[in-house]
Amino acid sequence: MWLEGRRFYEMAVADDAVFALPPPLGIFHGKDFVRHMGDAGLCHTVTLDKQHARALGDHVLLVYRGVGTAHDGTQRIANCLSVYRQQTDQWLLCAHQQTPLNGDAD
C-alpha cells in the first residue's frame, strides 16, 4: 500500500477504516484518507522488516517497520500497525497506525 496510488486504495480500504498517521496527516475515517491522497503512491520504494502477524478470527494484525523513499527523495521510516479484515475473496485494510522514527530506526 505504500507504493500504489488512489485506485488501489479505493479497492483495498474498508469503508469503515480508521487511520492514525503522523503530522501533518492526522486521523482519518473511512475513505477520507483515499480522497486526501494523490494519484501516486506515497513512496516509490519500500522495505518492510521486523514483521509480526497475528490472526484474530476473520482479521489479521500486522506489525512492522517500513522504510520508504518518497517521490521527492526523502526517506520515511515508521513503525506500523495494520489490521486487515477478510471479506469474501479479498483482504481490506480496516485500521492503520504509523509512528515515525527519527534517526535510529531500531
3-state SS, residue 19? strand
What's the number of domains the chain is made of? 1
Query: Could you tell me if residue 105 is inside a domain?
Result: no
Going by C-alpha positions, the residue among 46, 17, 49 that lies closest to residue 30 is 17
Beta partners for residue 98, in sequence order: 80
Query: Could you tell me if residue 50 is inside a domain?
Result: yes
Query: Could you tell me if residue 1 is inside a domain?
Result: no
pLDDT digits (tens, 9 = 90+) for 12-47: 999 999 999 888 888 999 878 777 776 666 788 999
Q: Residue 61 pLDDT > 70, yes or no? A: yes
Query: Could you tell me if residue 79 is inside a domain?
Result: yes
Query: Could you tell me if residue 65 is inside a domain?
Result: yes
Q: Domain limits at 37?
A: 6-100
Cβ neighbours of residue 39 closer than 8 Å, sequence gap 6 or more: 5, 6, 7
> At 54, which CATH number?
3.10.450.50
The model carries a pTM of 0.84
